[in-house]
Copies of this chain bind each other. A is one copy, B any other.
């Protein structure tokens, strides 16, 4: 077992001072060529690596950034993480990840664990529960201590900081328009309850599209799904709603779902009921994940570019940390989406 090398040990071993070693390792011309070479050779031999904790303490910056996400097992967030990781690493930063699991308490605790020096700044996508409570004091607190935060995806007006978001409303409008362009006018919307900003914005986009095409809104064609339910329950709710629609003779010829799970659940039940996709029924889903690609027919989706979003978020935070950006203005970046047309639309 090789013991961990430190400047001190090298200095003692080579019988020079610590500062000489430090300089020699930086190839500082103050130090004679010979000394430099000896020290460097010795350091290499014993695999010396500067202790990053000591450096952090000295420099008052850790070169690590904290990423707070609501969920890992979620394709979009996984993509975002990957994007963040990549650009952070490229710029010499480490990422520590905290998962709030959609809980306010866990979000707060996670951030508290990191805020005391172990992290230079945060990237956070706010937990559902936090959104519900509308309690953002932990975020504001951290900002007021001078630590930068970049909010992404689940963004909120009340907090004054940099933001990166998907233009959910506009994307939803475009997706709905696509369905309308395909001749569909009775579009079933599968969305979340309104307190989740994302679902609300997508719902707005849907409504806008109907409106600008002079299509009357039919409340029966809007299903707001409850939160935190099992897959089975989700499928049952969607299935029941669709069956009711059919039983009540309320026609629909397209579905716009705010996530893949709703879309596939609807697809499965539709097939069971003998509806042909896309002939009888077009489907577009938000979130271009794995489910869309393995569904049959493959789903047309709104691609959220999680990777790019992650990259943007990390870039924004690091730029601010490295003061490459005007100190007293906050920026909001909108990451574009695009529609990936597959087999569930015509």
In the docked arrangement, what's the CA distance between A72 and B86, Å?
A: 12
A257 interface hit (Cβ, 8 Å): no
Tell me the chain A residues, 229-275 only, with Cβ under 8 Å from chain B: 231, 261, 264-265, 268, 271-272
B64/A73 in contact, CB under 8 A? no
Name the one of B53, B96, B231 contacting A96, with C-beta atoms under 8 angstroms: B96
In the docked arrangement, what's the CA distance between A261 and B291, Å?
A: 10
In the docked arrangement, what's the CA distance between A82 and B106, Å?
A: 13
Name the one of B56, B89, B268 contacting A109, with C-beta atoms under 8 angstroms: B89
Name the one of B1, B50, B117 contacting A52, with C-beta atoms under 8 angstroms: B117
- Once A72-B78, A78-B72 are accepted as A-B contacts, the answer to whether A118 and B99 lie under 8 Å apart by CB is no
Name the one of B3, B49, B96, B264 contacting A116, with C-beta atoms under 8 angstroms: B49
In the docked arrangement, what's the CA distance between A296 and B89, Å?
A: 40
Q: Which residues of B contact A75 (CB under 8 A)?
A: 73
Per-residue CB contact flags for chain A residues 127-148 toward chain B (1 = under 8 Å, else 0) read 0000000000000010011100
Per-residue CB contact flags for chain A residues 195-235 toward chain B (1 = under 8 Å, else 0) read 00000000000000000000000000000000000010000
In the docked arrangement, what's the CA distance between A227 and B109, Å?
A: 40
A19 interface hit (Cβ, 8 Å): no
Find the B residue at minimum CB distance from A263: B294
Q: Which residues of B contact A96 (CB under 8 A)?
A: 64, 94-97
A45 interface hit (Cβ, 8 Å): no
- Once A94-B96, A95-B97, A99-B82 are accepted as A-B contacts, the answer to whether A118 and B53 lie under 8 Å apart by CB is yes
Q: Which residues of B contact A117 (CB under 8 A)?
A: 51-54
In the docked arrangement, what's the CA distance between A90 and B189, Å?
A: 40
A290/B293 in contact, CB under 8 A? no
A36 interface hit (Cβ, 8 Å): no
In the docked arrangement, what's the CA distance between A119 and B277, Å?
A: 52
A325 interface hit (Cβ, 8 Å): no
In the docked arrangement, what's the CA distance between A109 and B72, Å?
A: 23
Q: Residues on A close to B: CB < 8 A? A: 1-4, 47, 49-54, 56-57, 62, 64, 72-73, 75, 78-79, 81-82, 85, 89, 94-99, 101, 109-110, 112-118, 141, 144-146, 231, 261, 264-265, 268, 271-272, 290-291, 293-296
